Amino acid sequence: MGRNGRDIRVWLALAAVYVVWGSTYLAIKFAIETLPPLISGGLRFVAAALVLGAVLLLRRGTAPFRVTARQCGGAALVGLLLLTAGNGLVGVAEQHISSGLAALLVASVPLWLVVFRTVVRDRPHVLTLAGVLVGFAGVAGLTLGGGASASGVGIGAVLLASLAWSLGSFISPRIAMPEDPFAASAIEMAAGGAGMLLLALCTGERVHLTAVSASSWAAVAYLVLFGSLVAFTSYVWLLGNAPISLVSTYAYVNPVVAVVLGVIVLGEDVTTAMIVAGALIVVGVALVVSTERARPAPETEPGEAALETGRRP
């Protein structure tokens, strides 16, 4: 099948990416109610790595995992940045701020990627830079007035998470990585999950099994099966079967889904300031993504960097 947007499978996969990735912020909120954030995240990604690795071994043998030490190290580094620092700090942040606010701030990742590209040598289109300015105006609005209950610690943690995720996404296509994307993902998840568990040990996180609620365990299971396996698999399939401009729309749909779910399920407050600032971020990201997709492909597609923001294995 060609890369077309009319196949029903494309829309089913896109729906999974839209809804499931948007819902992970809500699931994290449930998981950390009775589980420490780093431990819950570490369990999530180690379990997902084991499942994905087992499936690959059963279906394709050891071929996908025949990688060099450099490729393995590259995938591990990306996993530490994306998952240990990126997802781990989001979990820490959601102890202090709403899931919707966290999602809106994380939506700024494509904007940071443009900044990194500008630093190294790439010259983004003027409309891309305009999108960055609009988006960062929204980030500033959320940071300064994202709600009366917003915590400086939570906002700081999620902004650091966005930077770590952006850096991991930026270097991923520029360093040695396993050729098989699913093998790369399994290594990333194993390294990222192990990094979270080690960090949890160093920071004194502890689990009292009798105190862990059924809803927290259910949230972790949801994050493993749907957030780390179903949605990511759908995303990888979409990259080869749908127009890139269509796939990349997840970047500004996810935060909207997250905010709506936070309001409906948890009754989270959404202030006027949050709506305005969040809208600026979404508009800025939409402008960046749409402009990058309209550009002719250079030797290395800068637009791929924006797309890498969605690699949430």
User: How high is the mean pLDDT of the chain?
Assistant: 85
Confidence of residue 244 (pLDDT cuts 50, 70, 90): low
**pLDDT at residue number 193:** 96
Q: CB–CB of 134/273 below 8 Å?
A: no
**Rounded Cα–Cα distance for residues 159 and 90 (Å):** 9
Which tokens sit at 251? 């970047």
Confidence of residue 144 (pLDDT cuts 50, 70, 90): confident
The full set of domain ranges for the chain reads 8-310
Confidence of residue 147 (pLDDT cuts 50, 70, 90): low
Q: Is pLDDT of 268 > 50?
A: yes
**pLDDT at residue number 299:** 44
Torsion sign across C-alpha atoms 259, 129, 90, 234: positive
Across 33-50, average pLDDT: 96
**pLDDT at residue number 236:** 75
**Rounded Cα–Cα distance for residues 67 and 127 (Å):** 40
Give me the half-sphere count of Cα atoms (radius 13 Å) on the Cβ side of residue 187.
Answer: 23
Across 172-182, average pLDDT: 90
Distances (CA, A) of 94 to 20, 40, 44, 194, 229: 18, 13, 16, 21, 22
- What predicted TM-score, i.e. pTM, was given to this entire model? 0.85
